[in-house]
């Protein structure tokens, strides 16, 4: 995939997303603003997972934990009356990054299936930790009374403002992510994916490279969590249940692993599919499940992969 074509697809996609609020207003369907805010938040989480999964080959099965840490940071600070958004977001991102540093430091000693399972175990640890925080609602969750307050600059009570904040964060993540994977660091990281031993032999500190990527992904996950808390205004351990980590992973694969825009498409496809199917029947998971199985069995490269091979066929 040529980077320039990719950039263009990204720009078109982001421009299309910017058109959602006016279109929703014109159609009188404000619900879509809400839906697409959610899609973009999960897109940010999926992009961050793809940085380590698609570019670093690290199958982390506990990514929802960072989402949880981000939203608990916002929610707990708000509970104590600290609603300064800059502080809340800083704590959310730093907290998730610190957790990722710790988790990565232990997990990256293992590889293969052990890595999948140990990241899952850490995710569960944080899940149970939050579930047992009784003063913050424990298992039942807790309502957050106020949105993050950005010194009066942004009014997040307004759904459209929140929408554009999330869109800006997504654009930022995509652009930073794009620079990152093309940088010297990114090339090294991709090298550890295809052949870690050779990269090590070349003198690359692979452990440090992977850990750094792991921490960056965790930090972005924390940002997504902080945004999610602002959208739902509700704290609940269920946002970091292990099945949520599976869903985020599914979004990455669905869209196209190892690309930055793929996970965005994947998040949109997954959540739209969920939305459409749950409108059809209460038993929508009985349809979604087999669909996912078929997808894994018969498609390679996800949605983006299907597009590019189609484009290549037309050209060639």
Partner 1 sequence: MITLLEQLFNGLQFGVMLFLMAAGLTLIFGIMNLINLAHGSLYMIGAYVAASTFGATHSFLLSLLAAVAATAIVGIAIERLVFRTLYERDHLDQVLATFGLILFFNEMVRIIWGATALYTQVPDFLSGQVELLPGAPYPTYRLVIIAVGLLLAALLWLLISRTRTGMLIRAGAANRTMVGALGVNVSLLYTLVFGLGAGLAALSGAMAAPIFTVESGMGDDFLILSFVVIVIGGIGSIRGAFIAAVLVGVVDTTGRAFLRSLFAMVMSRSAADNAGPTVASMLIYVLMATVLFFRPTGLFPTPGR
Residues lying near partner 1 in the complex (CB under 8 A): 53, 59, 61, 106, 109-114, 116-118, 120-122, 124-125, 128-129, 131-134, 242-243, 246, 249-250, 253, 283-286, 288-293, 295-297
The residues facing 235 across adjacent strands are 142
Q: Please identify, using beta-carbon distances, which residue of 68 and 85 lies nearer to partner 1.
A: 68
CA distance 42 to 124: 20
CA distance 70 to 286: 31
CA distance 40 to 169: 9
Q: At its nearest, how many Å lie between partner 1 and the CB of residue 283? A: 5
CA distance 288 to 295: 10
Q: Please identify, using beta-carbon distances, which residue of 134 and 194 lies nearer to partner 1.
A: 134
Q: At its nearest, how many Å lie between partner 1 and the CB of residue 129? A: 6
Q: At its nearest, how many Å lie between partner 1 and the CB of residue 140? A: 15
Q: Please identify, using beta-carbon distances, which residue of 126 and 156 lies nearer to partner 1.
A: 126
CA distance 14 to 166: 11
Q: At its nearest, how many Å lie between partner 1 and the CB of residue 57? A: 9
User: How many of the other CB atoms lie within 10 Å of CB of 222?
Assistant: 34
CA 85 to chain centre: 20
Q: At its nearest, how many Å lie between partner 1 and the CB of residue 174? A: 23
Residue 230 and residue 148 in contact, taking contact as beta carbons nearer than 8 Å? yes
Q: Please identify, using beta-carbon distances, which residue of 111 and 143 lies nearer to partner 1.
A: 111
Q: Please identify, using beta-carbon distances, which residue of 85 and 305 lies nearer to partner 1.
A: 305
């Amino acid at each position: 995939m040529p980077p320039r074509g990719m950039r263009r697809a990204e720009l078109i996609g982001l421009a299309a997303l910017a058109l959602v609020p006016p279109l929703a207003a014109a159609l009188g369907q404000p619900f879509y603003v809400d839906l697409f805010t959610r899609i973009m938040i999960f897109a940010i989480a999926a992009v961050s997972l793809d940085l380590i999964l698609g570019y670093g080959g690290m199958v982390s099965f506990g990514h929802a934990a960072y989402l949880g840490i981000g939203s608990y940071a916002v929610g707990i600070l708000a509970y104590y009356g600290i609603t300064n958004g800059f502080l809340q977001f800083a704590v959310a991102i730093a907290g998730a990054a610190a957790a990722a540093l710790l988790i990565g430091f232990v997990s990256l000693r293992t590889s293969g299936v052990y890595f999948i399972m140990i990241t899952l175990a850490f995710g569960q640890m944080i899940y149970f930790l939050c579930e047992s925080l009784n003063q913050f609602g424990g298992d039942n969750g807790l309502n957050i009374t106020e949105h993050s307050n950005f010194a009066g600059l942004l009014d997040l009570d307004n759904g459209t403002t929140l929408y554009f904040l999330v869109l800006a964060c997504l654009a930022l993540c995509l652009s930073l992510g794009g620079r990152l994977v093309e940088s010297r660091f990114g090339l090294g990281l991709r090298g550890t994916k295809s052949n870690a031993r050779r990269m090590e032999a070349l003198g690359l500190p692979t452990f440090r490279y992977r850990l750094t990527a792991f921490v960056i992904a965790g930090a972005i996950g924390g940002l997504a969590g902080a945004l999610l808390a602002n959208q739902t205004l509700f704290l609940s351990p269920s946002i970091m249940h292990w099945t949520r980590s599976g869903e985020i992973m599914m979004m990455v694969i669905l869209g196209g692993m190892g690309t930055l825009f793929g996970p965005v498409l994947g998040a949109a496809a997954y959540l739209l599919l969920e939305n459409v199917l749950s409108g059809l029947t209460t038993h929508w998971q009985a349809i979604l499940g087999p669909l996912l199985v078929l997808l894994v069995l018969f498609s390679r490269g996800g949605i983006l992969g299907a597009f590019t091979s189609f484009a290549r066929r037309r050209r060639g």
